[in-house]
Structure 1
Amino acid sequence: MDAVITFIERGGDLVYPIGLVIFLIWLNVLLRLFYLYWTFPRLANTAIAEWQRRSDKASWSAQQIHRELSARFRMGLHRDLPTIKMLIVICPLLGLLGTVTGMIEVFDVMMRLGAGSPKAMASGISKAILSTVAGMVAAITGLMAQSLLLRIASAKERQLQQALAW
């Protein structure tokens, strides 16, 4: 825990928004996993049972019902994935912003004290590097989670299409 606190202190002010974005990414990922493994199966089983009870599966209205069911579940499976993707894109941008602000701090120190004071410049360099690291780590882990969610959603969509086949 001390290492995390030290990281946040040395990383500068932009580590806090990066941390907030990380929290939002993982909150959305966990909510998606809950939906995919808890809510979706119950809804899908109900819809499949309703579809299989239908005696008429070939008429125009039955085809429209089938399309509507498929579209509704496809939208539900892929809901919030664009939000997660947007949050992932924000992370390295915040890290880059931290890099720029840290380097500005370094240049300010150099302007005031000259280039002969490496100790004074270390704080700005630390902020630049640590905020970049935080943004990149957040983006990489978020991309892995998003990829996993996309694979799970696609697999469940295929399973549903097979179950709703006529």
Structure 2
Amino acid sequence: MYQLYEWADIIRRFMDAGGDVLWLIAAVTFLMWTLLFERFWFFRFGLGGEVDQVMQVWEGRSERKSWNAHAIRELLISQVNLKIRESLPLIQTLVALCPLLGLLGTVTGMIEVFNIMAVTGGGDAKSMAGGVSKATIPTMAGMVAALSGVFGNTYITRIAERESELLKDHLTTDH
């Protein structure tokens, strides 16, 4: 139990050293990974049921060669594709937002450094060091969050593309 308190104190000190923007980066990262895990979960456990439903509707049709049948096929594919790609644009936006928030942390930290230099005349190195840490820690955190999100987003996007193509292959028009 003591280890848990020790880790919590280390995390709190790190977040305090990075400033308020670091909390925002943490919240965006948490949201991004929550959405990524939701997509992992959907592809693992939910997509199969959706595909089975569409397959039953398609295979239940007596005729699959007419223009109307092709339009219905495209409709079914589009409906499942909407579910497959549901959160992908938001995840991509959050990935792109992370480094921008890191830059915001850099700017706010440097403003603090310049403020200290203006007040003290530039002679208080210890006070300036706090501002420099508030400038560099969010930059690093934003880049790390973005890199982790890029890997997760790439993986999820590849799964989405593969599942979409498999669905098109399953809904045959040769009967």
TM-score (norm 2): 0.90
Alpha-carbon shift at residue 24 of structure 1 (Å): 0.8
Alpha-carbon shift at residue 61 of structure 1 (Å): 2.0
Amino acid of the residue matched to residue 74 of structure 1? Answer: N
Counterpart for residue 151 of structure 2: 144
Counterpart for residue 124 of structure 1: 131
| Percentage of matched positions with identical amino acids | 38
Counterpart for residue 99 of structure 2: 92
Q: Which of 10, 15, 22 in structure 2 is aligned with 1:15?
A: 22
2-side partners of 1:3 and 1:155: how far apart?
42
Amino acid of the residue matched to residue 107 of structure 2? Answer: V
2-side partners of 1:14 and 1:106: how far apart?
16
Amino acid of the residue matched to residue 78 of structure 2? Answer: A
Counterpart for residue 165 of structure 1: 172
Alpha-carbon shift at residue 36 of structure 1 (Å): 1.5
Counterpart for residue 114 of structure 2: 107
Alpha-carbon shift at residue 3 of structure 1 (Å): 3.3
Counterpart for residue 66 of structure 1: 73
Three-state SS of the structure 1 residue aligned to 2:20 is coil
Alpha-carbon shift at residue 135 of structure 1 (Å): 0.9
Alpha-carbon shift at residue 50 of structure 1 (Å): 2.5
1-side partners of 2:120 and 2:172: how far apart?
74
Q: CA RMSD in A?
A: 1.2
Alpha-carbon shift at residue 115 of structure 1 (Å): 2.3
Structure 1 unaligned spans of 5+: none
Alpha-carbon shift at residue 150 of structure 1 (Å): 0.2
Q: Which of 25, 44, 47 in structure 1 is aligned with 2:51?
A: 44
Pairing 1:78–2:85 present: yes
The alignment covers a number of residue pairs equal to: 166
Stretches of 4+ aligned residues off by more than 4 angstroms: none
Q: Which of 2, 9, 13 in structure 2 is aligned with 1:6?
A: 13
2-side partners of 1:116 and 1:161: how far apart?
68
Three-state SS of the structure 2 residue aligned to 1:144 is helix
Amino acid of the residue matched to residue 18 of structure 2? Answer: G
Amino acid of the residue matched to residue 26 of structure 1? Answer: W
Alpha-carbon shift at residue 27 of structure 1 (Å): 1.1
Structure 2 unaligned spans of 5+: 1-6
2-side partners of 1:96 and 1:24: how far apart?
19
1-side partners of 2:66 and 2:109: how far apart?
66
